[in-house]
Structure 1
Amino acid sequence: MRRPALAIAAALALSSAAAAAPVAFDGSWKTQRFSLFSSNDYGFGGDTLTVRSEGSVSLAYRPLPETLWTSQSASWAWAVDQGVPATDLRRKGGDDRNLALYFVFLPAAEAERMKGSNVRKLLGNDSARVLVYVWGGDHRRGAVLPSPYLGARGKTVVLRPSGTGSARERVDLAGDYARAFGGDPGALVGLAVSGDSDDTDSRIDARISGLQLN
């Protein structure tokens, strides 16, 4: 009975790997400034995105094709070589963090209507819900916090507190959405990445690689 069991396990592993969809850091990503005078430096390199921030904050965003709207989980690796001090991520104007990865959801009908919209319109849409996975802050792993900028539309999920190092993550988008907002997540229409060092006037040198959706 051992060989059939091993064969089934191998088939399931291959099926899971085949279902994983890599998300490239390519020309489909666009940057969004929040200030005319400062912005992060993003390096788009296919499998890897580098983020350098020096007393600045900005966002890199990409829409997702409809084939990925039903994604239920995500995985990636990230590393921080230099980062910001611990902050209170609930405090507007004092919530610097090393890295934040945003997952933007809309109801299916609204997702169709909002196709082609820029990230400001999406994040400002009353129907949008945003899970923000963060490396930073002075909070325990797994804490779900209110967003000081998105209000009821966004929740911060702490994966790692402030500090340096490297790690791999796998998140249950559907489960975290239900925990943060209740109900089903609808369509995953876009992703964003940010580094935020303007409040503490500090420096970030970090990267994200191997981003996949399932």
Structure 2
Amino acid sequence: MRIVMTSTLALFLATAAQAGQVSFAEGWQEQRLSLFSSNDYSFGETLGLVSNGSVSIAWTRVARDKWGTDGASWTWTVAESVPPTDLSLKGGDDRNISLYFVFVPESIAPSLEGANIRALLGNGDVRIIQYAFGGNHARGQVIPSPYGPAGQGVTIALRQAGTGSFNENVDLAADYARAFGGEKGALVGLAVSGDSDDTNSVIRAALGNLVLR
């Protein structure tokens, strides 16, 4: 009986972990931020990016059953890095790789289910937390975004500019309260970007094992 129960528990845990795993093989789209600037993304088991003096975003929607996500974990790797920058400086805030979490109030989430990333970014009710691998800031520092309406987005520094592979584990609910105050809404979108246009440098990076919980 113990063997059966142990096997059942192991299967349950494996299924639960798999249920929160974000696929990079389908559902992702690139959004250019400039007509003449674009990163090279590869989608599969991981999301890989090469940025050569360029910037753009790869994004995907989050399914309804994950709108209540409170935390996330992932692994990211940088093989070639931009130099350290000031992430609060518009036009001078290059970073190796960023992972964005896009929130809206639960009451309006259903009406935005089909919205693209530009529509979401242009909505005044949207709040965005961007976790960054890059810059020259202390880990955990909350940096107001120099782009878009004031109070809509923040960057949270996790790793300074440089190379290496690291595992991250974040409390989205706590970080949202720290950044914006109050309770987070529904998580409706995810995005990944690399930004090397201001320093005209090269990024080679990847992100994988992204789990929502």
Residue 169 of structure 2: aligned partner: 170
- Partner SS for 1:98: strand
**Correspondence list, 1:1-214, <5 A:** 15=13, 18=16, 21-45=20-44, 47-150=45-148, 151-214=150-213
Q: Deviations over 1:157-178 (max 9, x none)?
A: 0000111011000100001001
- Which residue of structure 2 aligns with residue 4 of structure 1? none
Distance in 2, Cα, partners of 1:74 & 1:139: 22
Q: Write the letter of the residue equivalent to 2:182.
A: G
Secondary structure at the aligned position of 1:178 is classed as helix
Deviation string for 1:100-130 (max 9, x for gaps)? 0000000012111112111011011100010
Q: Which amino acid aligns with 1:190?
A: G
**Paired residue secondary structure (2:108):** helix
Q: Distance in 1 between matches of 2:184 and 2:204?
A: 32
Q: Which consecutive segments of 4 or more residues in structure 1 shift more than 4 A? A: 14-17
Q: Distance in 2 between matches of 1:110 and 1:41?
A: 33
Aligned equivalents of 1:154, 1:16: Cα separation in 2: 34
- Paired with 2:37 and 2:156, the residues of 1 have a C-alpha distance of 26
Unaligned segments of structure 2, at least 5 residues: none
Distance 1:87 1:124 in 2: 26
In 2, distance between residues paired with 1:202 and 1:194? 15
What secondary structure, in the 3-state scheme, does the structure 2 residue paired with 1:39 have?
A: coil
Percent identical residues: 55
Aligned-residue offset at 1:207? 0.2
Deviations 1:71-118 (A, max 9, x none): 110000010000100000000000000000000000012111112111
Aligned to 1:80, what secondary structure does the other structure show? Answer: strand
TM-score (ref. length: structure 2)? 0.92
CA distance in 2: counterparts of 1:17 and 1:155, whole angstroms? 33
Amino acid of the residue matched to residue 134 of structure 1?
A: A
Shift in Å, 1:15: 4.9
Cα RMSD, aligned residues only: 2.1
SS of 1:58's equivalent in the other structure is: strand
